[in-house]
Amino acid sequence: MLVLLFYLKQINREIKMMLVQRTLTNHIKASGIGVHSGRKITMNLLPAEEDQGVIFKRIDLEPAVEIKAVVENVGPTSFATTLIDGNVEIATVEHMMSAFAGLGIDNVTVEINDCEVPIMDGSASPFVFLIQSAGIKEQSKPKKFIKIKKEISITTDNGAYAKLSPYDGFKVTHSLVYDDESRKSLSKTTTVDFNSTTYLKEISRSRTYGFMNELEALKKNSLALGASQKNAIAIKDNKILNEDGLRSQDELVKHKILDVIGDLYLLQYNLIGEFEGYKSGHTQNNLLLRKLIEVPDSWELISSEVDNPIIDYIEPIIDPSLG
């Protein structure tokens, strides 16, 4: 009897250790402004079945068009990460994808009535709030991860590079570098090791930013029509114009890390490995992921059921109505 009790306790411990897939407990609706279109956009976040992944659905089209959030469906990356299906686009997905990655959400459908995800306050924090408000529901199937086995990197003509390396956990280093004198003081390198800190604490509230001397040119090209100090950090030369300043000393470079996390989640699974970027952005991130896929011996797909990865997520939020 004592042996049986010990055995049962061991089974329970192993079950608790296994990370399972996550979705939302409830449907939730929100709206906001498109940073490029300037239009009011409404979106619905819906629970989804196991193994679905993240799907964006354009419900303003007839018939509605679904686009899965995976590397192969990424189109333009100049000012944001854009998913495409033929002529249909859903832009600026990176902040929402970052929130999904940071909270370990595997399966969700995002219905949206326009061609871009609303910018909200320019960070991932509003999306984190929406997910937590909807509730996080643990499913039954084990969570899967992409584990980096060999170093892989890309370099672009402007000297920017991005690299993935083996690491027992998840770590991101980014070097934000400006060569011109007026912006040089904004350059910064930061490393965040998620083995010792959390996405919510370090990354989620870091906002996007833009330079005032580039704003008019963007607007002439029908970009940044919805940009304001309510949803971005405004910079003139090296001066922050927002009345409340920065949320942290390294908010700019940590927003780049926020973007990295969102872009990496287009692998469909959380990453076990180390990312390093220098002057890099969405373009380099996507090129790196495409190269990774092309070199299958540089990574492996593992399951939390067997491999017990060293990754932690916040506890699921239980809907009180479920008892």
Give pLDDT tens digits for 187-212. Answer: 999 999 999 999 999 999 999 999 99
- Catalytic residue, candidates 36, 95, 174, 282: 282
CATH code of the domain made up of 2-322: 3.30.1700.10
Per-domain boundaries in the chain: 2-322
Q: Is residue 314 pLDDT above 70, yes or no?
A: no
Helices (H) and strands (E) in the chain, counts: 8, 19
**Which phi and psi (to 5°) does residue 83 adopt?**
-90, 140
Closest C-alpha among 59, 80, 60, 85 to residue 70: 85
Helix axes 94-103 and 125-134, enclosed angle (nearest 10): 50
Calculate the alpha carbon distances from 96 to 102, 168, 171, 320 in Å: 10, 26, 20, 26
- In this prediction, residue 310 carries a pLDDT of 62
Give the pLDDT mean for 123-146: 97
Q: Which two tokens stand for residue 298?
A: 């540089």
Whether the CB-CB separation of 182 and 237 falls below 8 Å is answered with: yes
Q: Sorting pLDDT into bands at 50, 70 and 90, what band is 1?
A: very low
Residue-wise pLDDT tens digits, 8-44: 333 344 444 689 999 999 999 999 999 999 999 999 9
Chain segment 214-249, per-residue pLDDT in tens? 998 898 888 899 999 999 999 998 899 999 999 999
Catalytic residue list contains 27: no
Predicted pLDDT of residue 220: 87
